Chains A and B, each alone.
Chain A
Amino acid sequence: MNLEKVIFGFFVILAFTLNFGFFIGGIDNPQVHHPGHLFAAVVINLVALVMKFGDRTHIGATHLATSLVAMLQLFAAALVWMWHLYISALPMDGPTMSVVVSLSGGALAANIISVVLLISETLRQTR
């Protein structure tokens, strides 16, 4: 067992699960999407991104690309939320929530690819 691999897998999967947890629920219902959840997803995705730095293999490059996409989408989601709440100074409403959630849905897709890559890499190793 390789501790490095455990930590790497842990963060990649955690990034995916947190993202999924935030995404699930009615798309325009602010009640079921907690900001803390999004924060955790951003932080863990950021960590997963940094962990993918510096791998020169082809699969490593694809890993990095998926993380960059997820990060971009999550940042956009957080920005939309922040803008609405603080700059526009309005309470959270359905349309804005749906924008945030759909952005995080995009990030979720990227995270799924990341997890698929992780699993396929593992399967290839054992063969």
Chain B
Amino acid sequence: MNDILFVILRRLRRPLIVLIIAYAISVWGLVLIPGRDAAGNVVHLGFFHAFYIVSYTATTIGFGEIPHAFTDAQRVWTIFSIYLSVISWAYALGSIFHLARDQTFLDAITRRRFATQVWSMEEPFVLIVGYGQSGIMLARMLDRTGQRMVIVELRTQRASSIEIDEFEHPPLFLAADGRLPDVLVDAGVTHRKCLAMVALAGDDDSNQSVAIGGTVLNPSLRIIARVHSQIARANMESFRKIELINPFEAFANNMRLDMGAPDKLRVVEWLSGLPGGARPSPLNMPMGHWVICGFGSFGRYVADAFDKAGVTWTAIDNDPSVHCNNPAILHHGDAQENLREAGIERAVGLIACTDRDAVNLATVTRARALNPNLYVVIRQINVANASLIDASMANLRFIRAEVVSHKVRQLLTSPLLIRFLGHLDEDQGDLAQRTGASLETHVGENVPFMWVFDCYASYRGLREALAPEVDPPLTIGDLLIDPENPPQRLDAVALLLLRKKTEIPLPAENTRLLSGDRVLFAGLRGVEATQERFLLEPSPLEYVRTGIEPPRSWLFRRLLRQDSKDSEA
């Protein structure tokens, strides 16, 4: 509020002074010039009357000559004061209108309104800095899950497109530079309802400023940042609360998993898809020789993944600076020749990942002419070029924005899910198969919804069941029985049990629950709400555990107690 007030006051200082002086001169003149009443006596106008006359004259209302008809001397002065005051008013009004259209002033108003709206947010929200391709995709995805958002974007035009884009809950947005700490504060980085900040701003350089700024302003806030370069990565890794997403690495990692451990990838993708959506099908990438066209940062990660998966590869890049002494990287000459030289005829797959969509398309067409059975992975740079890339009939496409938004959403779902996925990644045994089978049996084919069940004795519904002397003890299996019609099972699976510092992935259903445990469940839509009834009051839990519905009202509880006393006697 202060900013706006000060801008107004400072801008209107001069016009106001001009007006005051014009009025003062006009009033003074009318007071000094002698008038005559009807009888011809000399009378002077008082300040009150003079001010009255000037007031209506200056605003061109003109009530006439009062209290007596003017003398000519007074009329001369009135002419002068009319012109003086009308000009001053014109100047003052001009300044006011100019101010109302002034960009600085309008920006100050927009900014103030935005900050007020953010501060009055009652629902939890995610702050997204950067509304580029990844930002747009992420915002749409989060909007579909009902998540509220605040968006900061540097480019004014991009920011104002938020207003046109279709959202179920229109996000709050501001066109400002997220690198400035006061912008971040206005956008709610220190807000108690801010769940996390996602930094997707432009290049690595500005993005690391945003992320580091955010974490310094609010050290307890989760921050998810997109990163490409090693330097930015190292800078941000020194902050504990910043989680990094490298889309190139993530995609290459998925390719490696698909080649080495397809079951793992299948479960990871299954759990991190959009809830309710169809389960992603496996990629089935062939093992053998691969050709990489374009050895930029993405190409390097892919090559690295191939090395780990034990697949041979040859890269082609026409930038001579890329060529080091690695014989696997070719760099010059005719494109067709290059493809031959790279072994396209014996290759099983091709990755077209230069940074131009048209070049990628051309490469794919050329390579298919030489070897029609290729498994083609194509990189799509611009989201708008989707139909062009469709035409290439590629088996798989890499869209940076898609990978980023997918990863961010996965991170935002639940920190426990990330821990579970970590276990899955490190697992050497059959955790992936077991998870997959369990999900298939109890949840079905679609991507499940995720939630965390907090097993705290402070909840009224759990207090009695969690008491140490209760027999049989409360188990995870109890929480999976439908309180409406036992022993029907709820369509859910317990994925991870977090007990203090230990994490148990895919806990057995007869695992005993202790107070303070947190359980990550995956299940169908609506199961979470059913399960929440266990927290509110003890009767549902008692019902599913004993099959007896305990009386709820005071009268029936008394009767029951009486009953048991009688039977004891």
Contacts and interface: CB of A to CB of B under 8 A. Distances in A.
B48 A54 contact: no
Contact of B16 (A39, A50, A82, A85): A50
B17 A35 contact: no
B20 A82 contact: no
Contacts of B31: 36, 39
Interface stretch (B5-13, B168-176, B419-427, B558-566): B5-13
A43 B9 contact: no
A54 B28 contact: no
A12 B473 CA distance: 83
Contacts of A58: none
Contacts of B33: none
Interface string A30-69: 0000011001000100110011011010000000000000
B105 to A, nearest CB: 13
A47 B15 CA distance: 11
Given A54-B10, A56-B6, A47 B17 contact: yes
B216 interface: no
A53 B48 contact: no
A119 B48 CA distance: 35
Nearest to A11: B17
Contacts of B23: 43
Nearest to B49: A86
Contact of A53 (B10, B21, B46): B10
A35 B24 CA distance: 14
Contacts of A54: 6-7, 9-11, 13
Contacts, number: 43
Chain B interface mostly helix, strand, loop or mixed? helix
A47 B28 CA distance: 16
A53 B12 contact: yes
Interface in B1-51: 6-7, 9-13, 16-17, 20-21, 23-24, 27-28, 31, 46-48
A89 B10 CA distance: 41
B47 A53 contact: no
A50 B11 CA distance: 11
A35 to B, nearest CB: 6
B13 A53 contact: yes
Interface string A61-86: 00000000000000000100010011
Contacts of A46: 20
Nearest to B14: A50
Nearest to A50: B16
B13 A35 contact: no
A65 B451 CA distance: 57
B46 A86 contact: yes
A53 B21 CA distance: 17
Contacts of A43: 20-21, 23-24
Please classify how large the interface on chain B is, using the bins under 10, 10 to 19, 20 to 34, 35 or more: 10 to 19
Contacts of B10: 53-54
A53 B13 CA distance: 7
A56 to B, nearest CB: 6
B13 A39 contact: no
Contact of A47 (B6, B11, B21): B21
Contacts of A50: 13, 16-17, 20
A78 B50 CA distance: 14
B370 to A, nearest CB: 71
Contact of B28 (A39, A82, A86): A39
A85 B17 contact: no
A49 to B, nearest CB: 9
A16 B475 CA distance: 84
Nearest to A78: B47
B48 A86 contact: yes
Nearest to A42: B24
Interface in B148-177: none
Interface in A15-41: 35-36, 39
A85 B49 CA distance: 11
B93 to A, nearest CB: 17
Interface in B51-105: none
A106 to B, nearest CB: 20
B46 A85 contact: yes
A35 B27 contact: no
Interface in B352-374: none
A43 B24 CA distance: 6
A86 B20 CA distance: 24
A86 B45 CA distance: 12
B77 to A, nearest CB: 16
A43 B7 CA distance: 24
B195 to A, nearest CB: 35
B52 to A, nearest CB: 10
Contact of A39 (B9, B17, B20, B27): B27
A53 B9 CA distance: 5
Contacts of B6: 54, 56
Contacts of A35: 46-47
The listed residue with most B CB atoms (<10 A of its CB), out of A46, A50, A56, is A50
Contacts of B24: 39, 43
Nearest to A7: B17
A76 B20 CA distance: 18
A39 B47 contact: yes
B447 to A, nearest CB: 54
Nearest to A46: B20
A43 B18 CA distance: 12
Interface of B: 6-7, 9-13, 16-17, 20-21, 23-24, 27-28, 31, 46-48
Given A50-B16, A85-B46, 18 more contacts: A39-B31, A43-B20, A43-B23, A47-B17, A47-B21, A50-B13, A50-B17, A50-B20, A53-B12, A53-B13, A54-B7, A54-B9, A54-B10, A54-B11, A54-B13, A56-B6, A78-B47, A82-B48
12 contacts: A35-B46, A35-B47, A36-B47, A39-B27, A43-B20, A43-B23, A43-B24, A47-B21, A50-B13, A50-B16, A53-B13, A85-B48
Q: Which 5 A-B pairs have the closest CB atoms?
A: A54-B10, A53-B9, A43-B24, A54-B9, A50-B16
